[in-house]
Amino acid sequence: MLTKRIIPCLDIKDGRTVKGVNFVNLRDAGDPVELAQRYAAEGADELVFLDISASEEKRKTLAKLVRDVAQAIDIPFTVGGGINAMDDVGILLDNGADKVSINSAAVRRPVLISEVANRFGTQCVVVAIDAKQIAAEWIVHLVGGKVPTERKLFPWAQEAVARGAGELLFTSMDHDGTKQGFANTALRQLSETVTVPVIASGGAGTMQHFIDTFVEGNADAALAASVFHFKEISIPELKHELRLHKIPMR
Amino acid sequence: MSVAIIDYGAGNIQSIHFALERLGVSATLSSDPETIQSASHVIFPGVGEASSAMAKLKSTQLDTLIPELVQPVLGICLGMQLMCNSSEEGNTTGLGIFDTEAVRFTTTRNVPHMGWNEVKGNGVLFDKIPNDIHFYLVHSYYAIPNENTVGHCLYDINFAAAMAKNNFYGTQFHPEKSGAIGEQLLQNFLSL
């Protein structure tokens, strides 16, 4: 049976892992390659690296980091953050990334999704969507959740898939950093709207939250950062718990 | 041992290169016929779209070279699908090594089939690998099982997760991304 996936996310700034609470107040949570190896050894099913640094040099730094990670780990990983053009994608994939996650650039220029999908295949295109509920509507936000757009979550998700997204990474900004659980109602609706895998992101605090997002949210994968970085939840224990709840795990 | 990874401009070939490095094997990425022919083992990777990948093979005559290779050859993912007679993806004629075809999933479930799924394998590739163990897969097309199928996987339908015929082997899953189990499979291939 195809298993549900547990995905630690490493937010990267200037080559180090950090985690924002509601996207601000960053804390250093260690060396990315070391963390990646630890997670792979503990049974993580995939990893996501999100580069949140803004310097001009970052593309070069990120490419090197991607290469270091690819050399060190034997599970799939996705790289995102600041991908604006085909060239950015090519550099990351050439250095060993399995997938790229495109967020703001896909909203600004949706044809980028199709360009990447046509060149490299839909399997490597993850469209990341940050959204926030405003007056009962899920509104898509850009630039790490700072800038609201006119787009709504569900139609945008459908468009992204039609254009070639092979997977969606949905972060609820209302839940991110709260440790109160994932946005399961929206996640379920999303999984019923699209025919590609959906990764739940934002809100993980306890093992029960993971159970809930797989059962109630029908998520294909669940992503979390700080609960793993600060060892509040151990991946082997989490997977054991999920198995006890009949959720298929590797 | 001299391992050649066929480099024909199709997708992520660093992953398999790095996986071999972790096994202490330094492989050569190459599209040069002589280098490929003289290697002890050949790996034929591939991700992306079938017809454009096949066009790239044709433009370098690798489409005629690969079926004539006599050393162990391992096709991975799209590589394995291209070793079949045909692929529905882009109405592509394949290399005709495995007598079957690749077709698109018609399931109501998610496509691509992405993630870790159980494979029932047998034969030399699966030596020291327990049955029903999980491998990492990501694909929208699958090869219909035939007499060359040595690994089965279920995603609504039963599809060929691994193939073997003479010196030719194929895996739909990515051994280079399947943790320690994938590493064992690569080691099994390299010990052929």
What percent of chain B is predicted at pLDDT more than 90?
Answer: 92
Cite the beta strand spans of chain A per DSSP E.
5-13, 16-21, 24-28, 47-51, 77-80, 99-102, 125-134, 137-142, 147-152, 167-172, 198-201, 221-224
Residue given tokens 């630039």 in the structure block: A143
Cα A200 to Cα A193: distance, rounded to the nearest angstrom: 15
Chain B residues touching A197 at Cβ < 8 A? 110, 112, 114-115
Chain B residues touching A167 at Cβ < 8 A? 112, 114
pLDDT in tens, B91-105: 999 999 999 999 999
Task: Give catalytic residues of A, as residue numbers.
Answer: 11, 130
Chain B residues touching A119 at Cβ < 8 A? 48
Contact A75 B177 (CB under 8 A): yes
Interacting residues of A57 by C-beta distance below 8 A, sequence separation 6+: none
Contact B177 A121 (CB under 8 A): no
The verdict on ipTM greater than 0.90 is yes
Give, in degrees to the nearest 5, the angle at Cα B69 between B64 and B73.
115
Chain B residues touching A93 at Cβ < 8 A? 11-12
- The distance of B192 to chain A (nearest Cα, Å) reads 22
Neighbours of B25 (CB within 10 A): 16
pLDDT at B48: 76
Q: Is B53 on the interface with A (CB under 8 A)?
A: no
Chain A residue with the nearest C-alpha to that of B140: A123
Strands B92-93 and B84-87: antiparallel
pLDDT in tens, B25-44: 999 999 999 999 999 999 99
pLDDT at A241: 98
In the structure encoding, which two tokens stand for residue B186, read together? 């690569």
Cite the beta strand spans of A72-217 per DSSP E.
77-80, 99-102, 125-134, 137-142, 147-152, 167-172, 198-201
pLDDT at A20: 46
- The distance of A3 to chain B (nearest Cα, Å) reads 6
B176 included as an active-site residue: yes
Contact B154 A250 (CB under 8 A): no
Cα B79 to Cα B176: distance, rounded to the nearest angstrom: 14
pLDDT at A191: 97
Specify the higher pLDDT residue, A180 or B49.
Answer: A180
Contact B177 A97 (CB under 8 A): no
pLDDT at A4: 98
Q: Where residue B86 falls among pLDDT bands split at 50, 70, 90?
A: very high
Q: Where residue B8 falls among pLDDT bands split at 50, 70, 90?
A: confident
Which of B41, B77, B101, B113 is flagged as catalytic?
B77
Chain B residues touching A124 at Cβ < 8 A? 11-12, 47
Show which of residues 14-33 on chain B sit within 8 Å of chain A, judged by CB atoms.
Answer: 14-15, 18-19, 21-22
The helix (H) or strand (E) run that includes residue B148 is none
Name the residue among A75, A119, A166 with its Cβ closest to that of B112.
A166
Calculated CA dihedral for residues A20, A65, B6, B132, nearest 10 degrees: -50
Q: Where residue B49 falls among pLDDT bands split at 50, 70, 90?
A: confident
Chain B residues touching A75 at Cβ < 8 A? 136, 177-179
Contact A123 B179 (CB under 8 A): no
Q: Where residue B179 falls among pLDDT bands split at 50, 70, 90?
A: very high
Average pLDDT along chain B: 95
pLDDT in tens, B127-168: 999 999 999 999 999 999 999 999 999 999 999 999 999 999
pLDDT at B6: 95
What percent of chain B is predicted at pLDDT more than 70?
Answer: 99
For A140, phi then psi, to 5°, come to: -75, 135
The CA R_g of chain A, rounded to the nearest whole Å, is 16
The single-letter code of the amino acid at B183 is: E
Contact A197 B114 (CB under 8 A): yes
The single-letter code of the amino acid at B157 is: I
The helix (H) or strand (E) run that includes residue B168 is strand B168-171
Cα B179 off chain centre by: 17
pLDDT at A113: 98
Which residue, among A69, A98, A161, would best test binding to B if mutated, counting the most B CBs under 10 Å from its CB? A98
pLDDT in tens, A5-36: 999 999 888 888 876 443 334 445 578 898 89
Q: Which of A51, A150, A162 is nearest to A102 (CA)?
A: A51
Residue numbers in chain A where pLDDT is lower than 50: 20-27
Name the residue among B15, B112, B155 with its Cβ closest to that of A123.
B112
Cα B150 to Cα B165: distance, rounded to the nearest angstrom: 9
pLDDT at B10: 66
Residue given tokens 């399997």 in the structure block: A123
Q: Contact at 8 Å (CB) between A233 and A207?
A: yes
Q: Is B12 on the interface with A (CB under 8 A)?
A: yes
pLDDT at A163: 98
Q: Contact at 8 Å (CB) between A96 and A67?
A: yes
